[in-house]
Amino acid sequence: MTIKIDLHNHTTFSSKCSILSAKELIAACQSAGFAAVCVTEHNTMRGAHLSVELGRGMGFTVIPGQEVTTADGDMLVFGVEEEGLEGITVDALCVLARERGGVLIPAHPYRTSAFSLGDKVMEHKGCFAALEGLNGNCGKTENRRAQDTAKKLGLPCTGGSDAHSVKMAAKYFTTFETDIPIIDSAGLIEALKKGNFSAGMIDVRSGS
């Protein structure tokens, strides 16, 4: 089966930068026909876990993750429950993720208006399950650079809205080809490790 999951979002539960409630996010992804949505607050799992509970009540799968502000740039992390990891080196986070059986995906690696890994993804490519090739806050050129780099490194691309408002919600996603439905963190991690997915988007943003 082919399913869509938005892998990158911030809610008012734990992200001060967001005006998007988890309820609005879930409703948007539900009506877009996505199979699930990931909540990835900055350096905490709290908002994600609260969103999982909320999703349960709304009959929609929410998968918890976090966006860690590493010493070299933002990183989407699944399967690591530790809090307050900001400032950690990519290598240390890589070791931790391996210990926990989790996965790392550099967020918006070439976005210039945010803290991003850029070409440092090359040095650590063995640590990553994918690169975020479509990010809702990136311009076309920035996303293109991420996709080109992923191709060069032989890594697949994920897509995520990186939504902070209703307007931005449920626009970017990752399409998985999978035999098993993805209903939780373990399932998502397994699918990410398999690599059978690609990045997609609903709106076509104009601009650079």
The footprint of Zn ion (CB under 5 A) covers: 67, 74, 107, 114, 162
Minimum distance of Zn ion from residue 66's CB (angstroms): 10
Whole-angstrom Cα distance, residue 69 to residue 171? 24
Counting DSSP H helices and E strands in the chain, the numbers are: 6, 9
CB closer to Zn ion, 128 vs 183 = 128
* The pair of three-digit structure tokens given for residue 145, joined into one six-digit string: 């650079």
Whole-angstrom Cα distance, residue 158 to residue 191? 12
Nearest residue to Zn ion on Cβ basis: 74
CB closer to Zn ion, 4 vs 10 = 10
CB closer to Zn ion, 21 vs 178 = 21
Minimum distance of Zn ion from residue 158's CB (angstroms): 12
CB closer to Zn ion, 165 vs 196 = 165
3-state secondary structure (DSSP) of residue 73: strand
* The pair of three-digit structure tokens given for residue 83, joined into one six-digit string: 């809090």
Minimum distance of Zn ion from residue 72's CB (angstroms): 13
